[in-house]
Amino acid sequence: MANLKITLIRGFAGKTAVQKANAQSLGLRKIGQTVIREDTPVYRGMIDKIRHMVTVEEAD
């Protein structure tokens, strides 16, 4: 299965509790932090909720 490389590019200031919880559930805690996650509908939904805060690339 394909993997996604997710990088947090914006902080949590002024964001809702749901957006912050989604980012932290993905494993993102600090600006600039990158995590690798499987490309599943669950992760895609979480990314969609915070798409203005992250960049997403396909990982090898």
Closest Cα to residue 12, out of 42, 44, 4, 26?
26
List Cβ neighbours of 48 (8 Å cut-off, separation of 6 or more). none
The span from the CA of 14 to the CA of 8, in Å, is 15
CA pair distance 12, 52, nearest whole angstrom = 11
- The pTM of the full predicted model, rounded to 2 decimals, is 0.91
**Which domains are seen in the chain, by residue range?**
3-59 (3.30.1390.20)
pLDDT in tens, the chain (60 residues): 799 999 999 999 999 999 999 999 999 999 999 999 999 999 999 999 999 999 999 997
In this prediction, residue 6 carries a pLDDT of 98
Q: For residue 60, what pLDDT is reported?
A: 79
